[in-house]
A and B are shown apart, each in its own frame.
Chain A
Amino acid sequence: MTTIVTDNCKNCRFTDCVSVCPVACFHYDDEMLYIDPEVCIDCSACIAECPVQAIYEDDDIPEDQEHWIEINAEKAAALPVIEEQMEPLPGAEERKTELGF
């Protein structure tokens, strides 16, 4: 069992998820967030917070997003932790509308 950030986070990076993460398992780069599967406790608090529904449990992940499982693990291991909510990326609101949310 693991929890994964997928496509929709790209160019949004709203980071609402970060404020409810009980174990600070989110990492970030200029585009999006990634979950460290070694630290995440699968509490699923973040899933409901994401305004663009980018976060899935692996039980539940759409097939075309499955490659993110590996990417999250790899990226999280190399990138810094984000512990507090940040401003969304410029254009995040437009991207959200584009995604139908």
Chain B
Amino acid sequence: MDNLGTDNNPLLVAIVGSGPSGFYAAEALIKSDVKIKVDVIERLPSPYGLVRSGVAPDHQKLKQAINLYKKIADTPDFNLIANVMVGGDISVAELRKTHHAVIFTCGAETDRKLGISGEELKGSHTATEFVGWYNGHPDYRELEFDLSHDIAVIIGQGNVAADVSRILSKTVDELRHTDIAQHALDVLAESKLKEIHVIGRRGPAQAKFTPKELREFGELSDCNPIVQEQDLVLNDESKKELEEKSNITNKKIYDLFANFSKRELDSNKSKKCFFSFLLGPKEITGNTSIEKLILEKNELSGEAFKQSAKGINETIEMDAGILFRSIGYRGVPISDVPFHEGWGTIPNEKGRVTDTDGVIVEQLYTGGWIKRGPSGIIGTNRACSVETVRCLLEDLDKLNIETKKSGAEGIYSILNNKNIRHINFDDWTKIDTEEVKHGEPKGKPREKYTYVDEMLSVIN
């Protein structure tokens, strides 16, 4: 047999998950000087992961990353096998037989819990659910969010918390011409929310927003951003953090909070979005659905850049009609793949999957959030997947085994034997075209199909 990675014996790689990390892994493989065939397996009929269903609908420019993914998908060595669940429709053991290597880029699909009493009450939601719902993700299509209350609380001060609170703070007119799902727009149109509270465990010098996102709160058509001046008082260590020249991002964020605190309230605007700090959720109370949130005041301790928040046994109570937690994300374990329960990731060394004792598991690799945890933005995953692919290509000799691998044909035969419907990139393109067509009359970039069956019926 010819050497692995040559025309007659290409390296066959299966990538599990077609979000940014999956596409960047595919790109790095295809651009390498090794002859490769990549099969990207996606659970939904639609590719692009969180760029489609995570990035907020009012951030259309960010979604243009898809233009690059389309170019990657157009290369002859790329193949999409969508509507197929790895660990369900096809097993990892089967993929190890059909392919030389498998890369898991399946993201972090669940939320971290607050771990407090009342968290399961009606009206207490995860940010993931809400984001999936307004972005038309089929998994979250049937969820209901009751916005008939005065007050919404978002726990967490990162990118996702910013998205959720901004969507709640915007008017329907500010969202109408985005690709927000119609069912979400209809519910948001009836929203009675007057106050949105965004609550952080640490201080204004440690918030994890990007300055750009935070700035948007100053530009909302019907909502005042509010920061209490006394909340901007910093301890010495936080001052030190902001004085550090390399910490320009947090300095910009702090300055934006300061700017919000000095603004005069625009009485023509009907909503208020409060940013509050040094508060940790202790308990959610209510009879059948949430009514109040008990928060414990925190203080920071530790040296600059390593400060942690600790409760000071002083609580405050606030009314809350609906609550979203956004304090971190976890991956979901896949059968036959090691999983680190504590971190919610696949244990790995630079992308080479290891067992929980740190021993490398041959053939298996990982990239993106399921590799390193939920941090960074779209582009961070490019560097992450490039590192993984570099390791994979270094292992070429180890992956070179005598048995012939069947690649995509092997996958198709397994799926066809089980009568599992799978679709390819051309099929997806048909769905994509229809979505864009349905968006046009409404002045939207697209109207998403929000049920898997609807998507599949387009191809029939």
B248 touches A44 (CB 8 A): no
Among residues of B, the one whose C-beta sits closest to the C-beta of A21 is B379
Contact A1 to B246, CB < 8 A, known contacts A22-B382, A44-B377, A45-B379: no
B245 touches A43 (CB 8 A): no
Among residues of B, the one whose C-beta sits closest to the C-beta of A20 is B379
B383 touches A19 (CB 8 A): yes
Chain B residues in 8 Å Cβ range of A1: 61
Size class of the contact patch on chain B: 20 to 34
A8 within 8 A of B: no
Chain B residues in 8 Å Cβ range of A59: 212, 215
B211 touches A24 (CB 8 A): no
A57 within 8 A of B: yes
Could you say which of B63-71, B100-108, B225-233 contacts chain A?
B63-71
A98 within 8 A of B: no
Residues facing B in A33-60 (CB within 8 A) are: 41-48, 53, 57, 59-60
B382 touches A19 (CB 8 A): yes
Chain B residues in 8 Å Cβ range of A24: 68
A100 touches B245 (CB 8 A): yes
Binary CB contact string for chain A from 1 to 39 against chain B (1 if under 8 A, 0 otherwise) = 100000000000000000111111000000000000000
B68 touches A22 (CB 8 A): yes
A41 touches B62 (CB 8 A): yes
Chain A residues in 8 Å Cβ range of B376: 20, 45
Q: Please report the total number of A residues contacting B with Cβ < 8 Å.
A: 23
Contact A43 to B248, CB < 8 A, known contacts A24-B68, A59-B212: no
A60 touches B379 (CB 8 A): no
A53 touches B248 (CB 8 A): yes
Chain B residues in 8 Å Cβ range of A53: 245-246, 248
Contact A23 to B61, CB < 8 A, known contacts A42-B212, A44-B377: no
B191 within 8 A of A: no
Query: What's the nearest-Cβ distance from chain A to residue B249, in Å?
Result: 6
In terms of DSSP, what is the predominant structure of the interface of chain A? loop
The CA-CA distance from A23 to B63 in the complex, in Å, is 11
Chain A residues in 8 Å Cβ range of B386: 19, 84
Chain A residues in 8 Å Cβ range of B377: 43-45
Chain A residues in 8 Å Cβ range of B383: 19-20
The CA-CA distance from A57 to B215 in the complex, in Å, is 12
Query: What's the nearest-Cβ distance from chain A to residue B265, in Å?
Result: 23
Residues facing A in B61-107 (CB within 8 A) are: 61-65, 67-68
B245 touches A46 (CB 8 A): no
Query: What's the nearest-Cβ distance from chain B to residue A47, in Å?
Result: 8
Chain A residues in 8 Å Cβ range of B20: 22
Chain B residues in 8 Å Cβ range of A100: 245
Contact A23 to B65, CB < 8 A, known contacts A43-B378, A46-B379, A59-B212: yes
The CA-CA distance from A45 to B379 in the complex, in Å, is 6
The CA-CA distance from A83 to B379 in the complex, in Å, is 12
Residues facing A in B201-227 (CB within 8 A) are: 210-212, 215
A45 touches B62 (CB 8 A): no
From B65, B245, B246, B380, give the contact of A41 (CB < 8 A): B65
B194 within 8 A of A: no
**Chain A to chain B: the 9 pairs with minimum beta-carbon distance, closest first:** A45-B379, A20-B379, A22-B379, A19-B383, A22-B378, A41-B64, A22-B65, A45-B377, A23-B68
Given A19-B386, A22-B379, A43-B377, 17 new contacts (CB under 8 A)? A19-B383, A20-B376, A22-B68, A22-B382, A41-B62, A41-B64, A43-B62, A43-B65, A44-B212, A44-B377, A45-B379, A45-B380, A46-B379, A47-B249, A53-B248, A100-B245, A101-B246
30 A–B pairs (Cβ distance < 8 Å), ordered by A? A1-B61, A19-B383, A20-B379, A20-B380, A21-B379, A22-B24, A22-B378, A23-B64, A23-B65, A23-B67, A41-B61, A41-B62, A41-B65, A42-B61, A42-B62, A43-B62, A43-B378, A43-B379, A44-B211, A44-B212, A44-B377, A45-B379, A46-B379, A47-B249, A57-B211, A59-B215, A83-B31, A84-B386, A100-B245, A101-B245
